[in-house]
Amino acid sequence: MDEGKKIRVLVAKPGLDGHDRGAKVVARALRDAGMEVIYTGLRQTPEQIVAAAIQEDVDVVAMSILSGAHNYLFPRVMQLLHERGVDDVLVVGGGIIPDEDIPGLKECGIAEVFTPGASTADTVKFIRENIKR
Amino acid sequence: MNQGDLKGEHGRWRSGPYAKVCARFPERKERFEGSSGIEVKPLYTPLDVEHIDYLNDLGFPGEYPYTRGVQPTMYRGRFWTMRQYAGFATAEESNRRYKYLLEQGQTGLSVAFDLPTQIGYDSDHELSAGEVGKVGVAIDSLADMETLFDGIPLDKVSTSMTINAPASMLLAMYIAVAEKQGVSADKLNGTIQNDILKEYAARGTYIFPPKPSMRLITNIFEYCSTAVPRWNTISISGYHIREAGATAVQEVAFTLADGIAYVKAAVDAGLDVDDFAPRLSFFFNAHNDLLEEVAKFRAARRLWARIMRDRFGARDPKSMQLRFHTQTAGCTLTAQQPDNNIVRVTLQALAAVLGGTQSLHTNSRDEALALPSQDSVRIALRTQQIIAYESGVADGVDPLAGSYYIEALTDQIERAAADYIRRIDEIGGAPAAIERGFIQAEIEESAYRYQMEIESGDRTIVGLNDFQIEEARPSGLLKVDPAVGDLQCRKLAELRAERDNAAVEASLAALGRAAEGSDNLMPYILDAVRAYATLGEMCGVLRGVFGEYKPTVAY
């Protein structure tokens, strides 16, 4: 990516889940690390998330789900991104996500899944090292 | 010895023996403090409690200001209600879990609903996709509710339902199931959460804007005061505020500020405070700091009693009694070495009991990983039973009272929470403070500070940032079958084909007209429920009249 250009991140809450302590803490940590962060707020459909990612021209989409709906909603976002021809955006996820679900999520294009106990420093590092543009 | 001598002696000890040891062996930290930033001193003495007047500030159990508990005998008469929050997948599966818990000695039910139910969407709504039966049981209509309580006599159990925006519909379904069992509504015991303000501030399952939401709540207060007199019409909740990151002081302050807003709304609607206030109940979190938590519960009781008597002129002692449910803090559970969570939960549950809770949910060890398995839920329930039957802490009332430390801390927490409430009053009360984002911003700040303390190592979480081991991820986690969504959709299609759709339409139209006017909506909702209108249909009608809440995002 261009030197000096700030990494732009969309922090998104897909589905009906209202737990956004983690999403907000991550949003603030990314901002403190020098990134530009847009937080969608609660109850976003996959369509809304993909539209926001395109409109805001973000480099990263970071999604958080604690309700157990990740196996449906994360792949749906990836499918819509693909359909819209967006393939240079790094997509990461977090939440209460059982280990056994992670390989399937990575297969559909989620680059990394952060589970309880992950540090925001690790998330910042991962984004910096894996950004696609 | 008089206080003057004590002051002198305390000064001598502080600058003498204490300072000498500190100079040779520095303490672990320069400053010790609780979650709310209140400094913990090395030693508490009578000097720290000399301003406390026993009769005015502590009193006796069951008497104003209720610092020592809301009943004279507390757990010497009867233990707290052991009430495990449960619900997942279909009504059939949840019904089986309830019967299991009752067989294991649980004394009350607590229903967890899935997110579509909590937000008033039927299982076949497009926004329900992926969420049906996940964080609780899916309830679309009275038919599901009949299955959920099949074989459970509603005049014998008390049932708590974590339902907020559509609380009136789920309460109406419960009343209708009881009718079918031959149990009249005046025999029903239980609680609906029905606390919309904390949904806007911290939990997220709102539907309607604040004004019609407050109307629904006061409608319930009014309806239940005569028709369901033993029902707790609201559970004013600090639990989720704390889970979202608040400190102990913020938890007390924001919860009681919400309570003030509900009382004010009902009084403004023309209700007499003593007609509804005895049925208000509260719900708090039990976090890790054992002594701070005990002091928090005692401070909340005293502060609420004073608010109800002095601000609202309540005369009925029951209006002044802060009765509360407690749940141990989900946010403290670690995915690492999850068996350690049993110990955390034990300490937290102990705080709730020493703090005088009326009912308790203990979290299961595996909840940072998934919904709890049956084995984990049993251990969590056994934890309560061991505290009750083996530890001895339930045998005396408010046993920590009189500890210089506990009394000083109780006082400090009460004062700090009262200061916050004054700031919220200046903004115009809790609804205005939420609308402006004040409460959310305060919570977020605390959440971020807590996380940074963990990441910097200032705060040690055993197994997470210290004392780690290599471990295999645990097996045997509960998994909700994704087919639950399809099954619920099929049940809905059958219901819509079999019921008297003309009666459904008529009851929904009547509900819509009533919503446009000013009638109490409870009787209309009961009619629609009895006709097997679905939750999504009823909420759809009210969405049409009231509109939907759109949060102002602070980012």
The whole-number pLDDT of residue A2 equals 53
Q: A1 in a domain, yes or no?
A: no
CA distance B128 to chain A (A): 8
The whole-number pLDDT of residue B2 equals 76
Cβ-based contacts of B245 with chain A (< 8 Å): 21, 25
Q: Which residues of chain A have pLDDT under 70?
A: 1-3
CA A44 – CA A13 distance, rounded (Å): 6
Count of positions (residues) in chain B: 555
CA dihedral of B170, B171, B177, B183, whole degrees rounded to 10: 170
| Fold of the domain built from segment(s) B55-73+193-456 | TIM Barrel (3.20.20)
Q: What angle do CA B254, B260, B262 make, to 5 degrees?
A: 105
Q: How confident is the model at residue B442 (pLDDT cuts 50, 70, 90)?
A: very high
Q: How confident is the model at residue B475 (pLDDT cuts 50, 70, 90)?
A: confident
On whether any CB of chain B is under 8 Å from the CB of A102, the answer is: no
Residue of A nearest to B336 (CA): A117
Asked if A24's CB is within 8 angstroms of B369's CB, the reply is no
Q: State how many domains chain A has.
A: 1
The whole-number pLDDT of residue B473 equals 77
3-state secondary structure B90-131: CHHHHHHHHHHHHHCCCCEEEECECHHHHCCCCCCCHHHCCC
Asked if B127's CB is within 8 angstroms of A16's CB, the reply is yes
* Contact (CB, 8 A) for B323 and B437: no
Q: Copy the structure tokens of residue B297.
A: 């519960």
CA dihedral of B511, B512, B516, B521, whole degrees rounded to 10: 20
Minimal Cβ distance to A15: which of B131, B451, B473: B131
Cβ-based contacts of A17 with chain B (< 8 Å): 115, 131, 135, 204
Give the sign of the dihedral formed by CA A43, CA A48, CA A50, CA A52. Answer: negative
Domain boundaries, position A114: 8-130
Asked if B128's CB is within 8 angstroms of A15's CB, the reply is no
Residue B349 in this model has a pLDDT that exceeds 80: yes
Q: What region, left, alpha or beta, does residue A84 occupy, with left being phi > 0 and alpha being psi -120 to 50 degrees?
A: alpha
Asked if A17's CB is within 8 angstroms of B204's CB, the reply is yes
Residue of A nearest to B367 (CA): A96
Q: A24 in a domain, yes or no?
A: yes
CA B279 – CA B73 distance, rounded (Å): 20
**Terminal Cα distance for chain A, rounded:** 5
Q: A3 in a domain, yes or no?
A: no
Tens of pLDDT along B128-146?
Answer: 999 999 999 999 999 999 9
**How large is the average pLDDT for residues B409-424?**
98
Cβ-based contacts of B451 with chain A (< 8 Å): 25, 29, 120
Q: A2 in a domain, yes or no?
A: no
Minimal Cβ distance to A18: which of B205, B454, B480: B205
Q: How confident is the model at residue B553 (pLDDT cuts 50, 70, 90)?
A: low
Cβ-based contacts of A120 with chain B (< 8 Å): 451, 455
CA distance B454 to chain A (A): 9
Residue B552 in this model has a pLDDT that exceeds 90: no
On whether any CB of chain B is under 8 Å from the CB of A48, the answer is: no
Minimal Cβ distance to A15: which of B130, B336, B370: B130
Asked if A21's CB is within 8 angstroms of B199's CB, the reply is no
Give the sign of the dihedral formed by CA B119, CA B121, CA B122, CA B125. Answer: negative
The whole-number pLDDT of residue B555 equals 54
Asked if B370's CB is within 8 angstroms of A98's CB, the reply is yes
Q: Copy the structure tokens of residue B454.
A: 């963990």
Residue among B88, B451, B473 with most chain A CBs within 10 A, to mutate:
B451
Q: A56 in a domain, yes or no?
A: yes
Cα B176 to the center of its chain, rounded Å: 25
CA distance A105 to chain B (A): 15
Residue among B126, B135, B445 with most chain A CBs within 10 A, to mutate:
B135
Q: What is the ipTM of this complex?
A: 0.95
Residue among A8, A10, A16, A119 with most chain B CBs within 10 A, to mutate:
A16
- A70-83 vs A46-55: helix axis angle to the nearest 10? 40
The whole-number pLDDT of residue B323 equals 98
The whole-number pLDDT of residue B505 equals 98
CA distance A75 to chain B (A): 11
Element (H, E) at B527: helix B522-530
Residue among B128, B251, B448 with most chain A CBs within 10 A, to mutate:
B448
Q: What is the mean pLDDT of chain B?
A: 96
Residue B3 in this model has a pLDDT that exceeds 80: no
* Contact (CB, 8 A) for B463 and B337: yes
The whole-number pLDDT of residue B481 equals 85
Residue of A nearest to B198 (CA): A18
Residue of B nearest to A98 (CA): B369
* Contact (CB, 8 A) for A97 and A44: no
Q: Which residues contact B194 (CB under 8 A, 6 or more apart)?
A: B163, B164, B167, B217, B220, B233, B234, B235
The whole-number pLDDT of residue B1 equals 62
Give the sign of the dihedral formed by CA A12, CA B452, CA B39, CA B291. Answer: positive
Asked if B134's CB is within 8 angstroms of A68's CB, the reply is yes
**How large is the average pLDDT for residues B338-347?**
98
Residue of B nearest to A39 (CA): B555
Residue B554 in this model has a pLDDT that exceeds 60: no
* Contact (CB, 8 A) for B141 and B495: yes
CA distance B130 to chain A (A): 5
* Contact (CB, 8 A) for B166 and B207: yes
Give the sign of the dihedral formed by CA B382, CA B387, CA B391, CA B392. Answer: negative
CA dihedral of B504, B510, B513, B518, whole degrees rounded to 10: -130
3-state secondary structure B193-232: CCCHHHHHHHHCCCCCCHHHHHHHHHHHHHHHHHHCCCEE
Amino acid symbol at B352: A
CATH number of the domain to which A51 belongs: 3.40.50.280
Cβ-based contacts of A124 with chain B (< 8 Å): none
Asked if B331's CB is within 8 angstroms of A119's CB, the reply is no
Q: Copy the structure tokens of residue B350.
A: 């102990």
Q: Phi and psi for B299 in degrees, rounded to 5?
A: -65, -40
Size of interface A-B (CB pairs under 8 A): 101
The whole-number pLDDT of residue B246 equals 98
Tens of pLDDT along B197-215?
Answer: 999 999 999 999 999 999 9
Residue among A24, A30, A32 with most chain B CBs within 10 A, to mutate:
A24
Instruction: Tell whether omega for the bond before B26 is within 30 degrees of 0, i.e. cis.
Output: no
Minimal Cβ distance to B480: which of A16, A27, A68: A68
Asked if B115's CB is within 8 angstroms of A67's CB, the reply is yes
3-state secondary structure B126-151: HHHCCCCCCCCECCCCHHHHHHHCCC
Give long-range contacts, CB 8 A cutoff, 24+ apart: A102-111.
A104/A71, A105/A70, A105/A71, A105/A74, A105/A75, A108/A74, A108/A75, A108/A78, A108/A79, A109/A78, A109/A81, A109/A82, A110/A74, A110/A78
Amino acid symbol at B338: P
The whole-number pLDDT of residue A104 equals 97
Q: What region, left, alpha or beta, does residue A109 occupy, with left being phi > 0 and alpha being psi -120 to 50 degrees?
A: left
